[in-house]
Each structure stands twice: as structure tokens, then as C-alpha cells.
Structure 1
Amino acid sequence: MFCKDPIYTPKYATLIATFTALCLAVGKLIVGIMSGSVAVLASAIDSLLDVGISVFNFFALKKSEKPANSKFNYGLGKLESLAATFEGFVIALSGMYILYTSCVKFISSHTIENLHYSVGVMIVSFCVTFCLVWYLQKVAHKTNSQVIKADVMHYKVDLLSNGAVLCSLVVISISGFDKLDAILGIAIAVYIMISAFKLIRESVLLLLDRAIDPHIFARVQEVLENAPITSYHALRSRLVGNIIFIDVHLVFHAEITLLEAHRICNTIEEQIRALDTSLVWEINAHLDPYDDSEFDVILQRT
């Protein structure tokens, strides 16, 4: 999201993913219809869904990057999590459809024709998907985009399913056991639905303002504990895309000047931001002359 190199921006990545998924979907759909392989057809349907998801993600990212305004004071960063949640539900639905189709194929007798075409298209699909996952992982590492992380998980599932389909087709060509195609389709469907549940869960937690990762939170606490302040309290955090929001109350000696307290506060904020420069930090520090409990005692005495 905040990457200087255009090729590693989330929007550019979604365009590449869209074009790649479209090409793979068309190729697998043609071969799947020709061969009658339920596993290849299931993979084709999954790729078609990838196209729709990637287009949706592109517009979600475009909207989420718009600056804050009078209506949305904190920006539209949560659109990324909404897009990822939507993607998870679509993946789950595709898994259910693949499961249904595979069960029907398993019960009924079917023979795979033009097996060499199916093997060829799955080899190409596996290699292309591998390259796409590598690229998306690099973008996710540079930007920490929730949508791209969801895409990485999604295409890793595709990579595994493509590899499994390829292996099954090779086994079928050797053994002639056509029902392995349907059995593998069932296994892929179950794996897809489990992955979708994990993705939905992670996205919903972000929509509910889940706190940042414990190890990053502990490092923030370490900075505060080593700072030249009396104490701190009301430390809170939440994550939106690659933006970390931190709220904290910093307690200073009552005699300190406002200028000096402000200088120390700026230093603390710089140290926190230096913990991970790939993230965007929004820090809201409130300066207190007393701890809240001490202040209550002072008010009772006056």
C-alpha cells in the first residue's frame, strides 16, 4: 500500500493476479470439458472465482487508499478486511460446489478422456501459480496488505490443489482408476473450506479492532518502560491493513515544562515507529501530570 516501487503495490498485484487467473481459468475450463475430469473442472471454477475476487479486491484497495475525510475520519482502510471476508465466503462456496460435484462423480461412473491434455494444462497451471504465489508473498511482505495476504493464502491453496490434481491424473493414466479423480476432488473441497474458515476468522477479528501481534505490543511496552517518564497507562492498539493505531497516556512529573514533555513524547513516538518501518504508525499520546489513580486522590483532598 505504501510501497515506492509500483510493481510491488497491492493494486498492481491484484491486476496481475486477475490476468493470471483469467488465463488459467479459460485453459482449464476448455480442457476440463474436453476430458470430463471433475478435478480439472473444479480447478477451472476456482480460477474463475479468482478472477471475480481479484477484480473486487482491486476496487476495494483503490477505495481503501483514499485519505480520511469528514465522513470517514479514520479513512477506509477496513475495506481491505471486508474484501478479505467476502473472499473467504466465496472460497467456502466454491469448496461446497466442488464437494457436491465430486460426490456426484464418485457415485456415478465416469471416464476421463484426452488425459494428456489434462496433465499438460495442470503442469502449466502449477508452474504459473507457483510464480504468482512467490510474487504475491513479496508484495505482502513489503506492504502488509490484508487483501494481498488473503490472496497469498488463496493461491497457496490453488497451488496445492493443482499439484494434487496433477499427481492424481498421472496415477489415473498409469492405473486406470478413474474414481481417484472424484476422491481427490472431495479432498480438495474439504481443504478449501477449512482455509476459507481461517481467512474469514482472521478478517472478522480485524474488523472487530483486534489488538496488534503480542510480540510487537511487547516491544512497544519495552520502549515505554525505558522512556524518561514516570509511568504510562491506558495503552491500546488496533490494526487496519498495514496501519497500527496506538493510544497511550504518558505520565510526567508535575513540574516538567510542556515543551520538555512534548520533546520526550516525540522521541518515544520515533522509537516506536522504528520498531518496524514497513508499517504505518498512528500514535495518539495523552500527556498526564499524574497517574489517574493519583489524580483521583488529589481531587478528593481539594
Structure 2
Amino acid sequence: MNDDNRNKLVNRAAYAGIIGNTFLAILKLFIGIFTGSLAILADGIDTTTDIATSFLTLIAAKISNKPPDKSHPYGHEKIETIITKLLSLVIIFAGYNLLIKSIKNIITPEFKINNLILVLITASISVIIKYFLFKYKLKIGKKINSPSSIADAMNMKNDVLISLSVLIGITIYYFTGIKILDPIIALLVSLMIFKVGFETFFEASNDLMDGSKNLGKIYLDIVNVVDKYEDIKNPHKIRVRKSGFVFFVDMHLEINGEKTINEAHSIIMKIEKEIKQLNVYIKDITIHVEPIGNNEKECFGYDENLIKRTFGNEEENNGI
């Protein structure tokens, strides 16, 4: 997929989120203030943060598609991870504010809720719209391998659960009249927001630290390709790092010392081509060639045995 098509898909998903969430935010905030329901007001505040996340996703897409330059020779794709981290902080901040307000209302329940039917209708509308936004954004995010779009989609999934919990809680309140249920629901909503915020924060941190989490499929593909070549031995010092939606691969290979430079280069080019065909988001592969039997001490990176021990289960789960 070229950059223009990728950018169009990101923009389409982001604008869908902005339009849908703006409608829901206005509706929920108005109904929350009009009826006095803290639960639907909390849901509305959370939806307001979703508008910000959609705008941030647009910014990430615009910057990440810029070509490499003198200041950024690896490209600009990592901006998506940085934006994802910013999204997590926005989500955590929203969760904190809701938590404080919910606790205050549980301790001193001086509030009255009117027109519960309006709250129920609003929560039902929110569940339906949020579900479709979640499915749509997740589909786009996976198609273009965009961490910021996927993070935005998972935030939508969280919003579905939030709106659903509000709907269930207000329904119970409607039939039982237990007033304290409203701030308790708001408290549970804030905890859900916290959970998604911290999960997103730590996942983005792992990517920024070039962690190997969720990269097992690529590591296994690398060793499976190399194993096809009889003249290549001991793939080692293999390192894969994620940069936004693309990956960079470094590794060392041992090759028959009788091969000429041209012959070795031809084999290496074939290996690179095969690996990239297995994952179109691998942007660059750097291979260091050594003679077979090289005893140089190299203390970091994965070798074939360590990859199979660490990620072997992923090979079975993915049907590789």
C-alpha cells in the first residue's frame, strides 16, 4: 500500500471518529447536565477525550508519511508511537478527573437524577455508535499496521464497555431507585479508562524502547527463511525494532568462505527479498556477513535457538 492510500484510510477513520464522537459528546454532556446523571456525564467527558485522540491520530498520519531527511534518516514513522503515548496520557488524565468526582459524589451523595429514560436512550445510542466506530477503526488500523489507529480503536472498545456499563447500571437504578448506583457506575467507568490508559502507555513505552514484545512472528520468519539456504549458517545477533508502523532488521550470518563477494551478495539479496515478502512493513534489513565458524564474542541480539525457545509457541498459534 502506498503512502497516499494509507494516509487516506487513516484520515477517513479519524474523521469518522471526530464526527461520531462530537455528536455523542454533545448529546451526553447535555443529557448529563440536564438530568443530573454523573454516570452519563462521565461517559460524555470520556467521549470528549476521544475527539482529541482522533485529531492526534490525524497529526501522526500526516507526519509519519513524510520521507526520510537529513535530520531523520530512518524516517518519521516513530511519531505514531509518540502520539500513542500522548493519547495514553490524555486517557489517564480523563480517568483521574472522573475518579475524583465519583468518589466525592459517593461520599456526599447530594444530587438528583431526572428523566432516567433520556439517560437510557442516550446510553443505548452511544453503545451502538461506539461499537461501529470500534470495528471500523480496528479494521483500518490492522490493514495499515498503524499503532496510533489501533490504540484509538482499542479506546473505542473501552468506550463500548463504558457505555454498556452505564446502560446496565442506569437500568438497574431505574427499577430499584438506588441513587448511589450512579456515582458508583461513574467510578467503575473511571477505572476502565485508567486501565486502557496505562495499557496503552506501557505498550508505547515498549515500542520506544525497541522491545521485542509482539515481534515473534517476524523473528520466526527470519530464521525460517535463512534455514532454506545451505551455504548460510548460524543466523545470530538478530534484532528487530518497531518504528511506528514499520520494522527495521539487523542480523549477522555466517557464509561459506569460498564464496566470492558477488556470490555472497547475491544470496544475501535473495534472503532480504524473501523476508520482506513475508512482511511488507519491513522497511530495511542490514546483514553483516561472517565466515562459517567465526568465534567472535557477540553478547546481544537473538540467535536461532533463542528465537525458537522464546517465540516457538507463536509459530504454532499462527499456523506458520
Whether the TM-score (by the shorter chain) exceeds 0.5 is: yes
Query: Which of residues 280, 283, 292 in structure 1 aligns to 2:282?
Result: 280
Residues 61-90 of structure 1 show CA distances to partners (whole Å, capped at 9, x for unaligned) of: 211110100111111111111111111111
Residue in structure 2 matched with residue 37 of structure 1 by the alignment: 37
Gaps of 5+ in 1: 296-302
Residues 49-108 of structure 1 show CA distances to partners (whole Å, capped at 9, x for unaligned) of: 111121122112211110100111111111111111111111111111111111122222
> Which region of structure 1 is more displaced relative to structure 2, 256-265 or 168-177?
256-265
> Which region of structure 1 is more displaced relative to structure 2, 224-233 or 81-90?
224-233
Query: Which of residues 255, 259, 263 in structure 1 aligns to 2:262?
Result: 259
Query: Equivalent pairs: percent with the same residue?
Result: 29
Contact 2:81 2:244 in 1 (8 A): yes
Residue in structure 1 matched with residue 311 of structure 2 by the alignment: none
Residue in structure 2 matched with residue 299 of structure 1 by the alignment: none
Contact 1:2 1:143 in 2 (8 A): no
What secondary structure is seen at the aligned counterpart in 1 of 2:74?
coil
- Note the aligned Cα RMSD (angstroms): 2.0
Q: 2 CA distance for matches of 1:204 and 1:7? A: 24
What secondary structure is seen at the aligned counterpart in 1 of 2:239?
strand
Alignment pair present for 1:232 and 2:204: no
Q: 1 CA distance for matches of 2:146 and 2:2? A: 9
Residue in structure 2 matched with residue 162 of structure 1 by the alignment: 163
Shift in Å at residue 32 of structure 1?
0.8
What secondary structure is seen at the aligned counterpart in 1 of 2:295?
helix
Q: 2 CA distance for matches of 1:146 and 1:153? A: 10
Contact 1:224 1:232 in 2 (8 A): yes
Letter in 2 for 1:46: D
- Aligned in 2, Cα 1:227/1:242: closer, same or farther, shift over 3 Å? farther
> Which region of structure 1 is more displaced relative to structure 2, 118-127 or 108-117?
108-117
Q: 2 CA distance for matches of 1:8 and 1:271? A: 29
Residues 218-270 of structure 1 show CA distances to partners (whole Å, capped at 9, x for unaligned) of: 23122223323133332111011221111112222222122222221122112
What secondary structure is seen at the aligned counterpart in 2 of 1:9?
helix
Letter in 2 for 1:30: F
Alignment pair present for 1:242 and 2:242: no
> Which region of structure 1 is more displaced relative to structure 2, 267-276 or 88-97?
267-276
Q: 1 CA distance for matches of 2:229 and 2:238? A: 14
- Aligned in 2, Cα 1:159/1:180: closer, same or farther, shift over 3 Å? same
1:1-302 alignment, distance < 5 Å: 2=2, 9-107=9-107, 108-211=109-212, 213-228=215-230, 229-277=232-280, 279-290=281-292, 292-293=294-295
Gaps of 5+ in 2: 298-320
> Which region of structure 1 is more displaced relative to structure 2, 160-169 or 207-216?
207-216
Residue in structure 1 matched with residue 307 of structure 2 by the alignment: none
Letter in 2 for 1:280: I
How many residue pairs match? The answer is 294
Shift in Å at residue 133 of structure 1?
0.5
Shift in Å at residue 4 of structure 1?
7.5
> Which region of structure 1 is more displaced relative to structure 2, 51-60 or 83-92?
51-60
What secondary structure is seen at the aligned counterpart in 2 of 1:57?
helix
